[in-house]
Structure 1
Amino acid sequence: MSSAAAESGLLFGTALCISDLLSQPRTRAILRDCSIVTPEYELKWDAVYRNPGCPDYSAADDLASFASNNNLAIHGHTLWWHEAVPPALPTSPENQFQEAALNHLRETVTRYSGQLHSWDVVNEPLESADGRADGLRETCFLAAFGPDYIEIAFRQASLLDPGAVLVLNEMGLEYDSPAAERKRRQMLALLEREKTKGTPIACLGIQSHLTALEQPRRHPEFRAFLREVRALGLSVMITEMDVSDHLCPRNRSMRDTIVADTYRAYLDLVLEEAKVLAVSTWGLSDDRTWLNSFRPRSDGARQRSLLLDRAIRKKPAWHAVRGALLNKDKQEPGPGKAPQ
């Protein structure tokens, strides 16, 4: 898989956690298929500060050593995210929260400066339901720093790790709904505002948690959004891709075919319209998917949402993703897009 991505100038990877390294079949699959890895939990603020006042980077260090020893790039996930704040901090006075958040960002980026390919600097900044005109999610970061918190985070990260790709990562941009289209418009407005201020955002991370039988094949609204992102001079990373099969028939062969088709159609679209740096899945094998608990099937069957099955064997989805990566430079340009 990584060689197919490399032929198109991309990185391909997956999220992993330290326990994955205890399984030789899983480790072999990661080394066979991946050129970039994302720590699933180990770099998150609350994971580093499980013990208040005593940061522990040992698990993240072990993953960084594994990546370095095997010539894998690392995508840092994530510096500021409202769901990864140490429990004692949200009720702290704003000035104390500011100091703690900045200290964590500086300490983390400095520790790994020059070692990582990219950082999710801010994760999931938008939430239309919170009712703000700018679309920003009401979080402890917004409360402490104000709307400039995104600029502050990116400027700090840029100073401390100037060679890394700095990513603004968001969920739900790829869905087919009025709410998703509203979020796409809000994201474009946010990127334009930050670009005007000189905020060093280089890349938009699109999480890409897809749902089979809901994700449209053509999706003209999403296609137009990707063109506008590209026109802003930004690249794209697909950061957390998987495909929920909770709406699919129980038959395993039918499910696998539908899931594979969803991966292929989605990647064909994004790779045609965006300047994509990397494609990463949220886990490689079905035994590691979060979707069994987050979006369980009504018939009780286990999700088959990733590229490898529970025995770490390649599924139709693996071949579909590989085919899309190999097909990247053979696609016809989209409407209004100049040939490469």
Structure 2
Amino acid sequence: MSAQRSVPTVVAVVSEELFTEFFSDEDAERLRAVAARLGGTFLRVDRLTDAELAEARIVITSWGIGPFDAAVLASLPALALIAHTGATIKPFATDALFDRGILVTQAGAGMARPVAEVSLTFTLALLHRVPEMHNALRCGDGWYDADAVGVQREILGTPIAVIGASRTGRAYLELIRALGAEALLVDPTIDADAAAALGAELVPLDEALRRAQIVAVHAPTLPETHHLIGRRELALMRDGAGLVNTARSWLVDEAALIEELQRGRLSAAIDVFDEEPFAADSPFRTLPGALVTPHRAAGTSQGRRRQGRIVADEVEAFAAGRPLAHTVSRDQLSSMA
């Protein structure tokens, strides 16, 4: 039997730290086995330029990779599949990539559960006025003013609006339904029966904003969803209501939200911002009714390994000539953040 050639056929452009987070020993071995099946070896690099990759058939990507433009693709003449460990492929997908017929797949499905759990955590925190009380105790010299904090509520029976029946929106719906919330769903792409099957009442956006105690944003990034929640929409929300955003800042007019938070009329829990990291003097650092996290909603150890497993599954399916489960087409790019 001839010795396996040392040319890389499967290449992971992923930092060593992230590669360990994404891929268990078993899944890493699956990648090596696919590389051998394709007649070469597996290679992990930090940058595409770190090695000669003329025979690479599969490239695994992560955050921070640059566009696969004509120049990059010229150095990868055998490339047939890009398997992305994250969700959006916008930072690197180009027309040249799709023009060449290269398949692109991504692992966003692995991120739905952790993001939904953070959305639920945010929801419960806002209902129980945790940000206001936490900030009052840390910044003040007394106990706390119950009247200033606002009414504390349970999730049971509370109307919660879910804006978008995305993967994450559906996972969040499942969680809040299990805790007895009254689920309202806003999504123009589904009908009332489909919403009912998800355990939610389908309502127009304005009605959802007026009725809900918590508004959780899970819509896709489209031209028509830019600032979907703007000054007019925020004004429709009831006094004391809360906004949860673990999706994209694109969906919410950040300046208008800050104004409402400064007035103390609404509260908010947010994982995504127009500027990341936000400035040292950002109002989000001091607003008493705001709970903020640094774009880490999907960062669980289980979620990372789930993303790696999805990538390994897709790579194996490709090598075996089976259909892929998570491909992204050129047309789908417009709905990605």
- RCO greater where, 1 or 2, for CA within 8 Å and sep 6 or more? 2
TM-score if structure 1 supplies the norm length? Answer: 0.28
Q: Higher Cα Rg: structure 1 or 2?
A: 2
TM-score if structure 2 supplies the norm length? Answer: 0.28
